[in-house]
Amino acid sequence: MNTGVSQKIEKMSGARMVVQCLKRLGVDTIFGYPGGAILPIYDALYNSGIHHVSTRHEQAAIHAAEGYARATGKVGTVMVTSGPGATNLVTGIADAYMDSVPIVIFTGQVATSMLGTDAFQEADVLGITLPVTKYSYQVHDPAEIPKIIQEAYHVAGSGRPGPVLIDIPKDVSNAEAECQYPDRISLPGYRVAEEPDPEQIAKIATAIAQARRPLLYIGGGIIHAEASRELRNFAKQANIPVVTTLMGLGAFEPDDPLFLGMLGMHGTYAANMAAYECDLLIACGVRFDDRVTGKLERFSPHSKKVHIDIDPAEIGKNVAIDYPLVCDVRKALLRLLDQAPRPDSDAWVNQTTNRAQAFPLTYEQRPDGELKPQFVIDYLSKVTEGKAIVTTEVGQHQMWAAHFYRVCQPRSFITSGGLGTMGFGFPAAMGAQLAKPDATVVCIAGDASFQMNIQELQTIAEMNIPVKIFVINNHFLGMVRQWQEIFYDGRYSESRLSSPDFVKVAEAFHVKGIRATTKEEAERAIDEALRYPGPIVVDFQVEEEESVFPMVPPGKGNNEMILGRWEG
């Protein structure tokens, strides 16, 4: 490899090299859990000045690193031991891979002489994680550590972000070598196409100018590219309505008349119908996943399609594309702003805006009725003015949060989209809060999801991490129950749950806990939680059989929604 090398420094152990490289890269926080094979590196971390957060489970460590990365845009860092320590990360690695979250994972490994012998706490972590990592290394020479670490952070954070794994055998951590820091990175097989093709930009600008029903369909790639401002400017300049994926929430102002909401399985009526009726779909930083498209043959059937994405593998993967463009989406939007295409879209904008007003997301919270889950999130949105950082677990509460929390800024809605990982939201909130200590961070959880990583109450208590955990407690696996009600004739097979007393559980961990069962109690509890200076758990006892609507049934097009109370 053709790399320049800066001045040679003293001989040191591989473990110390790891720590020195992290400090040179500006890594300030590591989430992890020690164990035998990684102890040399943990010893080198001692008094290093790098903040280590010891979670109570490795899965929580990687989800916390995801929260840190998504709240900041920086690469998150995770460190665990070999065998079960590494395999406990697999769900989080897959989650980060699906949602394009930049993470570097350090795993300890048995000594190189023991590899392949089924040694104590040996696992082929590279083989296990190969399908869900952007790249991975196993270190066999301590002198290679500086080059590998610099490459890993570059690969994780550049292009389409993703998780990179570095597996370090214990004898490599203990061995000494001369530490040489590369002064540049040369990866001949790794190329990121950042600059847009001028000819393709011109074609896309012409297609936009000629459209009558254009629609911007935007996703998490806009946020990863820090392109929210350019998106907002372009949408307003060109007068084009905007729909977003779950991962794209926060990239566009929720109260702008051009914003039609989230599209897909639980998208708004206005967003799904706009996607169905548009004549030009401008997809930016998205992957056309099945939860967005519904039945592919019926997805946006009347449109020509533009797809701008930094990952060439996504172009044409699920949907045929008429105008492909592989590049940094922010730079593409800047070029389109320069081109200033202006379609004749006034009638279309009026039509979509009127539809959004006619079919809003709604619910009915009666003053003396059971507490509605939507009310909890709606009230939270109002009192925080949409400016808190919200993380979610996965299930009905996740969709209600997407519907009723008006996310006003990018990197403030943190959720597991592609993998749909229960247990994600609570540790992600910890990571986001540590990354943004002055922010209000709220985890909206379900009673089932919260129990997946409930042990992290000890972490937030010990470190006084002031996250607010709002448990939307319906005593069910809510989304499973909803599907069983609609598609399985109400046979609630194993979806009803017995939950612990969350207030008492919180108190057992020395975390404040309160409960709300009515509208008035919910308002008081939310106000109290947001004022409280430390961590707090609020158990909201909500209506058990409330469902999420709209909903696109499996095998249907997005224009075939079940509209809930509007049906019929």
Residues taking part in catalysis: 58, 120-121, 170, 479
Q: How many CA atoms lie within 13 A of 392 on its CB side?
A: 25
Query: What pairs with residue 218 in β-bridges?
Result: 244, 284
Cα dihedral 253→254→255→261 (10° resolution): 130
DSSP letter string, 278-340: -SEEEEES----HHHHSSGGGSSTT-EEEEEES-GGGTTSSS--SEEEES-HHHHHHHHHHH-
Return the closest-CA partner of residue 242 out of 279, 284, 211, 210: 284
| Angle, CA of 247, 270 and 99, to the nearest 5° | 10
CB 5 within 8 A of CB 77: no
Q: Are strands 29-33 and 51-54 parallel, antiparallel or unpaired?
A: parallel
Burial of 491 (0-12, 13-18, 19+ CB in 10 A): exposed
Q: Count of H helices and E strands in the chain?
A: 23, 20
DSSP class of residue 562 equals: B
Q: Sign of dihedral through CA atoms 23, 25, 28, 34?
A: negative
Question: What CA–CA distance (Å, rounded) separates 384 from 369?
Answer: 25
